[in-house]
Structure formats: C-alpha cells, structure tokens
Structure 1
Amino acid sequence: MTVILGIDIGGSGIKGAPVNTETGELVAERHRIPTPAGARPDDVKGVVAQLVEHFGLEGPVGVTFPGIVQGGRILSAANVDSSWVDVDADELFTRTTGHEVYLINDADAAGLAEAKFGAGKDVPGTVLVLTFGTGIGSALIRDGELVPNTELGHLWLKAKHAETWASDRARERDDLNWKQWAARASRYLQHLELLFSPDLFIIGGGVSRKADKWLPYLQLTRSRVVPAALQNEAGIVGAAMLAASGPVRREQPAPAGETPNQPARTDAKKSDVSKARKK
C-alpha cells in the first residue's frame, strides 16, 4: 500500500488527508483549516506546513491550486491573491515543508481521481469534470487521459465569466433555490455541450453532496450528467495520485522577464502533465 498526503487548497478551506493511491481511499480522517483571508502565498504556505506536520507522513506531498499550473509555476489566480502569479509554488512548498511537493490545478486533480476511482472509471470518450464551489473548475478527460488547465469556468457567459453567475458561491450570493440554480447550471452545461460534446459530465465540488436537490432540474440534450463519486475528497485523492507518480522532467514556461529561447529550468517537475498519471 502506497500512502501519500494530498492537500487541496480551496477558496474557503485548505484540507488534507493521507491517501492509499492504489485504491483512492483516505486512510485517515481529513483535516481542514480555514483559508487565510486574502489567500496570500506566505499565509497559505504556513497552512500547508501545518497540515504536513499534522499528519507526520514521510515522502512526497501532492497539493492542488485554484489556477493554471505549469511545471509547478502558478500562471493565474482567479480566486486567490494575485501575488501568486509567476510563483514557483513547487519550490515554495518544498522549501517550507521539507518534503518534495508536486502541484496540480485543483479541478485537474479532481478529474484524475474521478477518472481513476470515481464516476469516470472505465468511461471511454470525452468526460468533463466540473467542480462547483467558490468558482467553477474544469477537467477535460479524453479516454482516461487529462488535458490540463482548461479553466472552463472562465468562459464568457451572460456578459461575464460563467463562474461569477453559475458557481455555488453565486447560488448563495443571489439567494437562489436549487431549481433556480439548476437553470443557470443548465445554461452553462449546454454551452459546454455545444463546444465539447462530452459523453459524460461529472459534477463535483460542494454541490455534489446534494445532487438530489438539483440533478432532476438539469436540462441537457445529449450528455449524461452524474454527481462526483468522490465528492469533495476528489482533489485530495488526485493530488496524492500525482505525487505518487514521481517527477517527470518537462520544460516550464519562461518566467517573467525571460525569453522562450533561454535554457529550460533544470528543476522542472511534472505538475499537471496527464501522462504522469495515466496507468
């Protein structure tokens, strides 16, 4: 049994648990710490270190992040502090925790977990995993392989980013009942259906625990829709899966101020590369 610590950084909470990466099961109760106000790097790295110390595991650690991640470097930060952009978060968390840390987009982690152990297991074709929470995360899976960093919550819909109108936070902000929220979610899913024609939508995030309240009201023409089997644990599981796969060297995007013709970083890691996970 290979047990790896997975940590999921969210807009409201940062949670972690040790994961049996051969079965996708948590081997201890997850521990959650509220996300520090503003979610700045110095504050978040302290919480990640607390979680690592809390569980006391040896070995690598997988960490999710709500933004684009390439080669361990953060390229976007929609729902956390903008100072994250261009931070080498793999290096930051590795230095802070004393463990080798591997970073992945949060929805991509959920997608990997659902494809391997959850509602997407053995599903051929195109699967879209969507996490509805503070924003809307997305993971595009094609025949079990991840296409990373799709960030489809930022598609333009209703003259704004889709996640500002159809996320779970938008439901709470606008005091929508589940039928009203499902109408917005349907509009968003219909847009994705037109663009990607997925064989299956998997709906994760906090709303997955209450699928009976909204699933009957969704309206789609072709694609099946199911709630995430791993629910809010999917990000933790996917992060641990990535860390268990070991490093894969790849070229990172050039940091700000450098040109693409400069030599690739020698400390690059696999972060979100789909083939690092496919087994």
Structure 2
Amino acid sequence: MTTKTLKAASPARSASTKTSNPITLCIDIGGSGLKAMLVDAKGHPVCERQRVATPSIPTPRAVLKGLDALHAVIPADFDRVSVGFPGVVKKGVTYTAANLHPLWYGFPLEKELAKRWKKPVRLANDAAVQGYGAIKGDGVELAITLGTGLGSSLFTDGLLCPGLELGHHPWKKDREYEDYLGRRGLDKYGKKHWNKLLQEAIEQTAKLFNWDHLYLGGGNTKKIDFKPGKNIEIVSNEAGLLGGVALWREWK
C-alpha cells in the first residue's frame, strides 16, 4: 500500500460540539481510490480532499490499512464518520463487493472503523451517498455512478429506496449493465461505443423509473462526449464525499 498520492492538507478548524456544527469525516471507498474529506453540518468541505490508491488486492485488511493512512493526514479532529462502500450494505455490514474482494462478504466495517478510530460511524452504499450529495429532494431522482463498476441509487422526494443494484441487472444478451458501462466495458468497447451504450442505458432507465432528474457521477463521467439531455446533470466526484452528512440528518 502506497501513500505517495497524499499531500499536505489545508488547515481545518477543530471539531465542534454536537449541538453547534459537528464535523464529519467522509470516506469514499472505490475500486481505484480511497478518498476522504472533512465536511461541516451543512455539507460544505472544510479541508482538501485526500486520496490514496486502492490496494491491488483489496481485502478488508488491506483497505483498512489504506483508510488508516488517510485518517493519519486529516488536519483536524472530527465528531463522526460517514463511509460510502461499493456494494450492498445492511446494518453496517458489507455483503457484496464485486470490484474489491470476496472476503468483504459479511464484514462488519462500520463496527471495525468505530473501534479503530473511537468515533461513531455510519456506512452506506457509495452510490447512495453520492446521490445524497447531488439530489434536490423533489420527485423521482436517479443517481448513477460510472467508475470501476456501475453504482445506482433511487430517491423519491429525498427518501432513499434502499437496495437498488442496477449495475447487476441483466441488460443486453443477458449481461449486466456493469459489464457494458463499468471500466471493463469502457476498456473493451472503447470510448465512442461506450458513449453510445451509455445513451441507450439512459433512455432505458427513463422508461423503467420515470425519473424526474438523473445525476451522473464517478470518475468516468470525464469520458462522456455527448451533451446530457433535459433534467440530466453530471455531478462532481466530491458528491460522493459531501453526501456523507446526510447519513447523520437526525444528529442534534
């Protein structure tokens, strides 16, 4: 595990109390990178984003070592932790991680990080966290993350419909959306055809979900070469971190 990509973070204020402005350490676990940022109660960043590469063999032990490296360079204390994970999450436990490692099945990540860092932790699917960072909270909103795999989250008037895994739904020739639109598809079909497939998928999701607004996020949005249609937005990668505050909405 290398931490060469880490850089000195700009100063951030100290953690505040629960009743004033709790500071959240927001973590985004991806197939290619582990990212972290401190965010205030209104969802505004209070330090620069930190990043290390995801280990080449991303077992729980290896990824935790990388997260510890991120934690070590955070420039201030914080009150709580939000984590976006690329797979199915239930009650703080990870159950799938198609683009990480089979050992993640049944791993109590929320409990493990709370034990390591002595802070309360909340864990959710990474696409759900990114969706929270992008949505307006009005009508039916779908968020799709284009990265190593394909993440998805669906909201109705700001409320998450949990468990959606569009990336693993059969699409063309009984292969999954992720096979075409994840990194494997981009490498296999090339940028031009990948963009064509993405436009077809957008049309299909409009028919399937009747969404009012669609958000496209993730690192591979940089490969999009067509102009998004009406009610479609390309959102910053930071949405996957800034949305972590939403996991603590009832914090007083």
TM above 0.5, yes or no, is yes
**TM bracket (short chain):** 0.7 to 0.9
Residue 162, structure 1, aligned to residue 169, structure 2: no
What is residue 252 of structure 1 aligned with on the other side? Answer: none
**Secondary structure of 1:232 counterpart:** coil
Q: What TM-score do the two structures reach when normalised by structure 1?
A: 0.76
1:44 and 2:63 are equivalent in the alignment: yes
Distance 1:18 1:187 in 2: 37
Q: Give the drift of 1:206.
A: 1.4
Cα distance in structure 1, aligned partners of 2:210 and 2:124: 25
What secondary structure sits across from 2:100 in the alignment? coil
Match of 2:125?
Answer: 105
Partner of 1:54: 73
**1:236 counterpart SS class:** helix
Cα-to-partner distance string for 1:133-187 (whole Å, 9 max, x where unaligned): 101100101011111221111110122111111124521x12623x422210122
Question: What is the letter of the counterpart of residue 89 of structure 1?
Answer: L
SS in structure 1 opposite 2:51?
strand
Q: Which SS does the other structure have where 1:156 is aligned? A: coil
1:126–1:25 distance in 2 versus 1, CA, 3 Å: same
Could you tell me which residue of structure 2 aligns to residue 257 of structure 1? none
Cα 1:152–1:207 change in 2 (3 A) is same
C-alpha separation between the residues in 2 aligned to 1:245 and 1:40?
32
The one of 193, 197, 209 aligned to 1:180: 193
Cα distance in structure 2, aligned partners of 1:214 and 1:133: 18
RMSD: 2.0
The whole-number CA distance in structure 2 between the counterparts of 1:149 and 1:244 is 20
Structure 1, gaps ≥5 residues long:
116-120, 248-279
Distance 2:118 2:184 in 1: 35
- Listed one character per residue, the Cα deviations across residues 231-274 of structure 1 (whole Å, up to 9, x for unaligned) are 11111112243146449xxxxxxxxxxxxxxxxxxxxxxxxxxx
Is residue 200 of structure 1 aligned with residue 213 of structure 2?
A: yes
Q: Establish whether residue 14 from structure 1 lines up as the match of residue 14 from structure 2.
A: no
| Corresponding residue of 2:246 | 241
Asked whether the 8 Å contact 1:135–1:168 carries over to 2, the reply is: yes
1:83 maps to what in 2? Answer: 103
**Partners of 1:38 and 1:214 in 2: CA distance:** 35
- Residue of structure 1 in register with 2:145 after alignment: 131
Report the counterpart of residue 273 of structure 1 in structure 2: none
Give the letter aligned to residue 187 of structure 1.
Answer: E
Higher RCO structure (Cα 8 Å, ≥6 apart) = 1
Aligned residues: 230
Report the Cα distance in structure 2 between the residues aligned to 1:210 and 1:57, rounded to whole angstroms. 36
Q: 1:161 to 1:201 in 2, by over 3 A?
A: same
Provide runs of 4+ in structure 1 moved above 6 Å. Answer: none
Cα distance in structure 2, aligned partners of 1:149 and 1:47 = 27
CA apart distance, 1:78 = 1.2
* Aligned counterparts of 1:64 and 1:72: Cα–Cα separation in 2: 11
CA gap 1:182/1:34 in 2 versus in 1, 3 angstroms: same
Question: Do the aligned partners of 2:180 and 2:194 also contact (CA within 8 Å) in 1?
Answer: no
Q: 1:102 deviation in Å?
A: 1.2
- Evaluate the alpha carbon distance shift between residue 169 and residue 205 of structure 1 in structure 2; reply closer, same or farther with a 3 A threshold: farther
The normalised TM-score by structure 2 is 0.84
Quick one: which amino acid aligns to residue 160 of structure 1? R
The one-letter code sitting in structure 2 at the alignment partner of 1:61 is: V
Q: Equivalent pairs: percent with the same residue?
A: 32
